[in-house]
Structure 1
Amino acid sequence: MDTVFVVAAIFIGLPWIILHYITRWKTAATITSDDEVLLEELYSLAKRLDERMDTVERLVASDNPDFKPARIQHDKEIDNEPLRELDRLLAERGDRK
């Protein structure tokens, strides 16, 4: 009886435990569709907030000629490159759906 239990534990129980945790590990490391939707919403919110900040900075600059914004500028090529890359990746992902 002990031999049957040991053989069952080695050939059934051990692979089951290993495969179970491999499956859990793989599903935990992926982004779900809900996460993707949330990321898209956050991205669009960030773009809207960036446009609002541009408007506020333009208004402040019109009142105060010495005003120098301390954030990323929308008209600098070096600051726009990461945003273009993100836009391109989102467009590619949208084409695949």
Structure 2
Amino acid sequence: MEELFVAVVVLSTVIGLPWLILHYVTKWKTSAGGITQNDEALLEELYALTKRLDDRMDTVERLVAHDHADFKPARLIADNQADNEELAELEALLAQKRKETRA
């Protein structure tokens, strides 16, 4: 009886444990492979909302600066090329992604 118990323990350790580990590693890799289309749509929607809010903040800062001469905006300068390089790169990537999904 002891021999059967030892055989079961050895087989479950040699076969079962690696199978269990590999099973969950595979699940982990396939689930972390990328974002879904719903996530991409949500990110694009959030990006558009962020751009609109940024434009609104620029407008508010211009209005306040017009009314108060000593006002100095704490944000980055609007429409400054150095500040907008990363956004331009992101917009180009989004445009390319939209092209690929239409084709």
TM-score bracket, shorter-length normalisation = 0.7 to 0.9
CA drift of 1:84 comes to 0.4
Q: After superposition, what is the alpha-carbon deviation per residue over 1:3-53, rounded to whole angstroms, capped at 9, x for unaligned?
A: 874557645x34532332122211135322222122111111100100111
What RMSD over aligned residues (CA atoms) do the two structures have, in Å?
Answer: 2.2
Counterpart CA distance in 1 for 2:98 and 2:7 is 55
Does 2:20 align with 1:17? Answer: yes
TM-score, normalised with respect to structure 1: 0.78
Larger mean Cα displacement after TM superposition, 85-94 or 30-39: 30-39
Gaps of 5+ in 1: none
* Mapped partners of 2:45, 2:78: distance in 1: 21
Q: Which stretches of structure 1, 4 residues or more, deviate above 6 A after TM superposition?
A: none
Amino acid at match of 1:90: L
Q: TM-score, normalised by structure 2?
A: 0.74
* Number of aligned residues: 96
Percent identity, aligned pairs only, is 57
Tell me, which stretches of 5 or more residues in structure 2 are unaligned? none
Structure 2 partner of 1:60 = 64
Equivalent AA in structure 1 for residue 28 of structure 2: W
How far off its partner does 1:78 sit? 0.9
Identify if the C-alpha distance between structure 1 residues 70 and 8 changes in structure 2 by more than 3 Å, giving closer, same or farther.
closer
**Which one-letter code corresponds to 1:88 in the other structure?**
A
